[in-house]
Amino acid sequence: MSTPSGPGRKSSNPPEGDSEARQGHLRPSPEDLRLRVYPDPVLRQRCRPVEVVDDRVQACIDRMFELMYEHQGIGLAAPQAGWDARVFVINVIGSEEEPDGQMAFVNPQVELIDRDERDSFEEGCLSLPGIRLDVERPMKVRVQALDREGNPFTLEAEDLFGRCIQHENDHLDGILIPSRVSTLRRMAVRGKLRELEEEWNPNS
């Protein structure tokens, strides 16, 4: 998720899941990881769980933090780096200078605490440059995951942190923000999506 530019407005759009269940088999080295932008097909994959948090997985996580900071994000999911694994990283402070705020989530299980308590806020995505959309989401979540060292943890999150967790977790199921808004709102960014499709170079 990219840094929010300001407060969002209220809206009431039901989410629309459109992920395609596909099993990937990528096991990249950290140096292979680079920012992937729409319409890269890796962004539409359902990611697979990490079997063991080994040195290579940790090095890939570290590379994801680098990419996130390099592109001024506050969260990055593995498929955005070209890796089809159930992993995302977050630092809502968004600064390398504040490493205390950074967290890795491996094989996260996200549970909504209260589906009815929802809020709308403008989101951006590093994989959708130039696109910002008001996305309505539940406010509070509970997450179980493994950390960068492979140790299990559970936490509850709300506000920007809770939103960022839901945004990044969506990436692991191939869901991008245009699928989380109404058809009308999606129409408003259709031209921009088409531009990205035309500009996309699989080798860049």
Q: Which residues are catalytic?
A: 168
Minimum distance between the CB of residue 124 and Zn ion, rounded to whole angstroms? 8
> What 8-state DSSP symbol labels residue 79?
G
Buried-state track 156-189, b at ≥16 Cβ within 10 A, e below 16: ebbebbbbbbbbbbbbbbbbbbbbbbbeebbeeb
Query: Residue 44, Cβ neighbours under 10 Å: how many?
Result: 17
The residue number whose beta carbon is nearest to Zn ion equals: 125
CA distance 46 to 172: 6
Q: Is 78 in the site for Zn ion (CB under 5 A)?
A: no
- Nearer residue to Zn ion within complex by CB, 71 or 142: 71
Cα atoms in the Cβ-side hemisphere of radius 13 Å centred on 74: 19
Minimum distance between the CB of residue 147 and Zn ion, rounded to whole angstroms? 21
Span 93-152, contacts to Zn ion by CB under 5 A: 125
- Nearer residue to Zn ion within complex by CB, 53 or 125: 125
What is the three-class DSSP state of 139?
coil
Instruction: Tokens 């923000």: give the residue.
Output: 177
Minimum distance between the CB of residue 171 and Zn ion, rounded to whole angstroms? 6
Minimum distance between the CB of residue 143 and Zn ion, rounded to whole angstroms? 17
- Nearer residue to Zn ion within complex by CB, 16 or 114: 16
Span 47-76, contacts to Zn ion by CB under 5 A: none
Binding residues for Zn ion, rule: CB under 5 A, are: 125
